[in-house]
Every structure is written in structure tokens, then in C-alpha cells.
Amino acid sequence: MKHSSLFTIVAIAMTSIACNSTPTAERTNPLLEEWNTPYGIPPFEKIEVSDYLPAFEAAMEAHKAEVEAIVANPEEPTFENTILALDNAGGMLNNVANTFFLIAAADTNPDLQKVEAEVSPMLAAHSDEIMMNADLFERVKKFYNRRHRAGLDALQLRLTEKTFKEFERGGSNLPADKQAELAEINRQLSEATVSYAQNLLAANAEYQLLLSSDQLGGLPQSLKNSARDAATEAGHKSEYLFTLNRSSIFPFLTYSTDRNLRKEIYTAYIERCNGGERDNTELIKTIIDLRTRRSQLLGFKSHADYVLDDVMAKTPKAVYELLDDLWEPSLNSAKRELGEMTEMMRKELNDNTAKLEAWDWFYYSEKVRKQRYNLDEQALRPYFSLDNVRQGIFGLCNRLYGITFTPVSVVAYNKECSTYKVNDSDGTLLGVVIFDFFPRAGKGGGAWCGEYVSMSMKDGQRVTPVVTVVCNFPRPSGNTPSLLSVDETETFFHEFGHALHNLFAQVPYKGLAGVERDFVELPSQIMENWAMEPAMLKTYAIHYQSGAVIPDNLIRRIEQSSKFGQGFTTTELLAASYTDMDIHTLRTAEGLDPVAFEQKKMNTERGLVSQIVPRYRYPYFSHIFDGGYSSGYYSYIWAEVLDKDAYQAFVESGDLFDKDTAARLRTLLASGGTKDGMDLYRDFRGAEPSRTPLLISRGFVTPDNGDEPEHLGQ
């Protein structure tokens, strides 16, 4: 949620490509030369846009040559000459792709976008070609079948089984005619998903709500300023432009006093790509049809069965069980919120029959919150200057793990980037982090963490990772530094959790680096737990002008208000998790009408109130149709069960900064995918996770021991 889905897509695209090689050709292309740079960062200043396409082509050729060499080996297949050799192949392609996709997300332009459109299907076809290479699979299978007699250690065995399963899931085991069918389905799918994404992109770009200065009632000055800048940039001087980007529409819905305008922009938002010129409903049917047929070709009942087979959840049943457990308490809590807001609205309008609608929710929610907790978000910001938050995170990591952070001067891709090296307690270099904090044209929305270079082993040495954290925090202006909201502060902690996961990695094989998709948000979400802890706030929430530490009464109000609105937030999140599962557990797309289907499942069957719309609806649910989250949107709430329970380990130790617990957490973070997620979790916690801490944190149940966790660790 707090980071873009893009890197999951890249990660998924890349996992089927496996890794590492020595660059051979094209010595003049900086992407293909040995990167003799400080800390192994990409040679950003030398790369031209025109370098990417030839680099991709050369890297794919190199990868193919490596694969052919494995196939041509006259010796019997062994772990070294087949499984390990495959694991080591494709390194150049990984470097090129990581650099390209991270730059395309953080610093793009029309030329890069053109390359992106060209390269994506090339990568898909490249991956299919390897997955369906019958001779290659033959070798893998031959070794796999005698893996238990090959004297492998646990990790070698795991890599062998993982490699085999990846081939199986890619269709290697199918007869030739079915393979051809599968490749054709994959081709059609890549086309349909690109069209879906392009429709959505166009619909977003085309919508403009242009207002005059007398239509801005209730809006904070900062929002007016950015709307004016946006209008000016679009050629509408002295007007104010609001768009369907979340950073524009949701503040508008929260503060605008004009109910009709709220309705207008909200309706445009939830009706995107549902009919009209940018209609996505037919494409949704096509995508579901193709995915369902593909899963059945591969021996599964549905796309969800196919996807979940490879992650922690394992089955749709396990996902539905979690969602069903949370649904009722969440919906009940949302209904209570609705009742409170309706009461306020009726008083305000002096109309006892007034009905609160979906476009009123954000507005009245903010009003109730303000009234009840006397907490003005804007007044908190001075305590959360970007520098102080970053120092707070560094301090937390130092306290937990003994690691240190030092700024280094290197040339990154944009002059706004800042880079830090990270050293272990004994001085060993763990890696570097490139921060890129502020919005600009060419940067995607939201926040994310990625890796230009992943940790790997080369000649027995650890290759240190090059990690990046990219955000869209408010720009400093004049003498005012960048001041974060509570939400943005938590986002920074979140993304830094992903960064730590990468920095701590200590995995001998690339094929065992990745974790299950429903595990990947554990390392990030657990970091959010510290952000608003009183003991933690005292270390970093310091007023940027007066130098005063945040006062206790503000801390108390932040804490009290933290559970407010959780009914709505959880309900819209669960609703989207359900709609994702509902459509991907279908056995056929015949007769599917996506919008009617959503209504039937959510409103009729599950009792969702009309004032709450799933966080994303099918026509604009990019995560599941053109992102990497199909049958995976539940991952956020799944990982939250893990992170809330995991954090209890610190709470129970009596010290939120307990070093022994931190050492166990570090072991989990360093392990990558060397074990199943649940096994890693059990090693850390000594038990399977309980759902209770999540229910308590969302305010759906009250803790029965009455202990106030905020007294710990002080």
C-alpha cells in the first residue's frame, strides 16, 4: 500500500530469469562494462537513454548463451553444472533491468517510456523461451529426480526444488501443443494488460476539475498552492486544478465544503474506465478468461489456486478464512463511524433525514476526528522534519542492530539524491542506500524501495547491495524544511524496513534471495510499529524551530486518534482483497459482468454499505490487472497479522529496543528465502502468529490485560 507495486512486477519478471554472468560484448556501453564505481553503484552519469535497448539485447543474448552452454554440457547433470550454473546465469540482464526499471519509475521521460513499452514484451518472451527450453528442462528434471541421492545440503536441495518448481509453473512439463497454447495465452495476456494500463493512464490524465478561487471553500493553503501550480502548468492561469491522483482528490474530498464538487470528483474517480472511451470491462473479461485457462492448463482449478500455491497462504481457503475473520468486526466498526458522522452531518445541515454518501465520508471523518481529539495534522508537522525523521530511523537501527550510517559523496541519477553507506557494528560494509525524497515530473506517485544491485556472493565474497528509497515528501520551501505528516513519517519507516531487509541479506544463492509475496511486507510493516511509540518519538520528534521535544499531551492525542477511522480503512482494504479473490477464483469468465459481479458479492452477499466503495474497483484495479498483485492484494493484511504479532515479541521482552529480540529479527531479515516464510517466522517468534494483536491495533477488540504498551521501553 505504501509503496508502488512496480517492484513486485519487476521482481516477478526477473525471478524467472535467474542470475549473474560476466559481461562479454559491447565494451562501449556503460551498462555492459564492469562498473568500476564507488560502492558498485550503476555508472549513472555515463548512461544515455539510447544505451538501454542495446544493453537489454546484449544481456539477453549473453543469458541465452549461458543457458545454451548448460544444455550443451556433455556431462551428466549435477548441482554445479546445472542448478548452480542456472543460478549464476543472467547477471548482466539483472543489472541492466534493475537499473532501467528503477530509473523508469523515479526519473522517467517519454524516451524511457518508449523503451519500456518495447522491452517489456521482449523480457516476457525471453523468459518463456528459457522456461520452455525442452533440453534445459530435461537436464533440470534429470538432476531433480535424483536430488536425494546427490549429497546436497539443505540449501542446495531447496534451490534444486525451487528451480524445478519454477520450470513446472512456467509450463516446462507440458506437451508441445499445450506449451504453444500457453505461450499464445501469455502473449495475449501481455497485450491485454498493457491496454488495460494504458486506458487507466489515459483516463487519469484526461480528467481535470478546474475551479475558480471562489470554489475553494475549506481547502488548506498548501493544497490551494499545489492546485494553482498544477493549473498553471496545464496552461490555465488563475485557476485551480484537481485531478484523480490520490494526492489531489483525497485532500480535496477531506476538506472541500462544497458537497456537489465532492460528488463530482468522487464519481469521476470510481467510474473510471467503466464504460465510455476508456472502458476496461471487456479487457477484464479477456484477462480473467486467459488467466483461468492458463491456470487450468497448468493443472489448477483457478488463477488464485495457481498463484497461491507458491506463497505462504497456499490456498484460497486460507485467504478467505483470514478475510472472513476480520470482515465483521471491521464492518461493524465502520458502521459505528458512519453513525457518528451522520449525526454530525444532520446537525450541521439541520436536516434529520440527510443521508451521508460515499463522497461525504472523508470530509465528515476529518471533522469528527478533529472534534474528538483536538488534533490538527498540520500543527504536528513541525515535529517531523525530514532530517529529524531520518535521524530517528538511523538511531533506531543503531539501537537495535548496532549499525551505523555515514553520508557519502557519489554521483547518483539525480542531483537531489543523497547516499549513505551502512556499516555493521564491527565496521564491515553492509551496503549503501540512495535516498530520493521529493516529487518531480517523471517520478511515479507513492513511495517504494528497490535494489540497483542485490546482495550476492562472488568468488566467496559478499557483493554489497545498492538499495534505494524513493518517496514523494513535501519539498522544502524558503526557510522551511520538508515537514512530514504522521502518515508520511510511517511511510519512511516502512520503506526503510524494506531497505534493511535488503541490506542485511546473507544468502548464498540468488534463487533463494526472494521471499513469498505475502511475507514481503513483514520487514517493512514491523518498522511502522516503532514510529509513533512515545519512547521513540522522544528521540526524534523535535520541533525544527524551537528544538523542543514533542510534548506528552500531543503524543497522547496522536495515540488516541490512531484507532480512529480504522473501521473504514480496514473495510475498504478488505473489500478490495475480496474482490481480487472473488474474480480470480472463478473457473470461467463466461457471462462475467465485472461491475455487477462486484455489487453482488460485496453489497448483496457481504453487506458492504453503499457509503464504502472497495479501495479499488475492477475497472481501475491496477494492482491485480497490470501489476504483480493478482490474487495477492490480501498480502497487506496478511503481513499485518505477522508484523503486529512479531512486534509483540519486543513488547513482551519489556524493552522495545531489546537487542536479543532484534538479533532474532535480524536473522529472519538476513535469511531471504532460504526457508519458507512460516518457518522463518516460527524461528523468530517460537510460535505461529496470532491475529489478536492486529485486531487490538485496529481497535476491533480491547486488550484484556489492560497493559498500556506505551509505558514500555521508556
What residues does 404 pair with on adjacent strands? Answer: 423
Smallest distance from Zn ion to CB 613, Å: 23
Beta bridge partners of 3: 447
CA angle 388, 393, 395 (to 5 degrees): 90
Q: For the residues of 277-288, what is the DSSP string, one character each?
A: TT--HHHHHHHH
Q: What is the dihedral of CA 266, 581, 577, 337, to 10 degrees?
A: 70
Q: Which is nearer to Zn ion, 520 or 613 (CB)?
A: 520
Beta carbons of 189 and 290 less than 8 angstroms apart: yes
The 10 Å Cβ neighbour count of residue 500 is 27
Return phi, psi of residue 476, to 5°. -65, 145
Only one residue has cell 458512519, namely 338
Please say which residue, 106 or 203, places its beta carbon nearer to Zn ion: 106
CA dist 10 → 42, 113, 358, 378, 628 (Å): 18, 15, 35, 36, 8
Closest CA to 631 of 287, 356, 336: 287
For 374-395, letters b (16+ CB in 10 Å) and e give ebebeebbbbbbbebbbebbbe
Give CA–CA dist 414/166, Å, rounded: 37
CB of 524 to Zn ion, least distance (A): 4
Beta bridge partners of 211: 240
At closest approach, how far in Å is the CB of 635 from Zn ion?
Answer: 10
**304 vs 469 by CB, closer to Zn ion:** 469
Q: For residues 79 and 452, which CB has a smaller minimum distance to Zn ion in the complex?
A: 452
Nearer to Zn ion, 452 or 496 (CB): 496
Q: Report the alpha-carbon angle 629-442-4, nearest 5.
A: 20
* Alpha-carbon span 644 to 639, nearest angstrom: 9
**SS3 category, 449:** strand
Q: What are phi and psi of 347, to 5 degrees?
A: -60, -45
Map 507-557 to HEC letters: CCCHHHCCCCCCCCCHHHHHHHHHHCCHHHHHHHCECCCCCCECCHHHHHH
In the complex, least distance from residue 414 CB atom to Zn ion, rounded to whole angstroms: 22
Residues in the interface with Zn ion (CB under 5 A) total 3
What contacts 24+ positions apart, CB below 8 Å, involve 420-428? 421/39, 422/503, 425/401
Window 507 to 526, contacts with Zn ion (CB under 5 A): 521, 524
408 bridge partner residues: 419
E strand residue ranges, 159-277: 209-211, 240-242
- Range 335-394, binding Zn ion (CB under 5 A): none
How far are the Cα atoms of 584, 615, 693 from residue 608, in angstroms, in the given order? Answer: 20, 12, 25
Helix 635-653 and helix 659-670: axis angle, to 10°? 150
Angle between helices 486-504 and 522-531 (to 10 degrees): 140
Q: Compute the least distance from the CB of residue 525 to Zn ion, in Å.
A: 7
- Least CB distance to Zn ion at residue 3 (A): 4
HSE (side-chain half, CA atoms, 13 Å) at 305: 14
Dihedral of CA 88/89/91/97: which sign?
Answer: negative
Q: What is the DSSP letter of 476?
A: P
Q: How far is the CB of 521 from Zn ion (least distance, A)?
A: 5
Residue 228 makes contact with Zn ion by CB under 5 A: no
Which residues are identified as catalytic? Answer: 495
174 CB burial (10 A radius; 0-12, 13-18, 19+):
middle
- For residue 419, the minimal CB distance to Zn ion (Å) is 21
Is the CB of 495 or the CB of 598 nearer to Zn ion? Answer: 495
As a whole number of angstroms, the distance between CA 521 and CA 517 comes to 8
- Residue 482 identity: S
Considering beta carbons, is residue 448 or 544 the nearer one to Zn ion? Answer: 448
| Site membership for Zn ion, residue 126 (CB under 5 A) | no
Asked if 502 and 354 touch (Cβ cutoff 8 Å), the reply is no
Cα 118 from Cα 194, distance rounded (Å): 11
Residues 523-552 interacting with Zn ion (rule: CB under 5 A): 524
Window of 1-9, 200-208, 557-565, 695-703 that interacts with Zn ion by CB under 5 A: 1-9
Burial grade of 264 (CB within 10 A; 0-12, 13-18, 19 or more): middle
Contact 576, 615 (CB under 8 A): yes
Nearer to Zn ion by C-beta: 302 or 570? 570
Q: What is the largest CA-CA distance in the chain?
A: 86
3 interacts with Zn ion by CB under 5 A: yes
Question: Quick one: 366 or 640, whose CB is closer to Zn ion?
Answer: 640
- Residues at the contact surface with Zn ion, assessed by CB under 5 A: 3, 521, 524
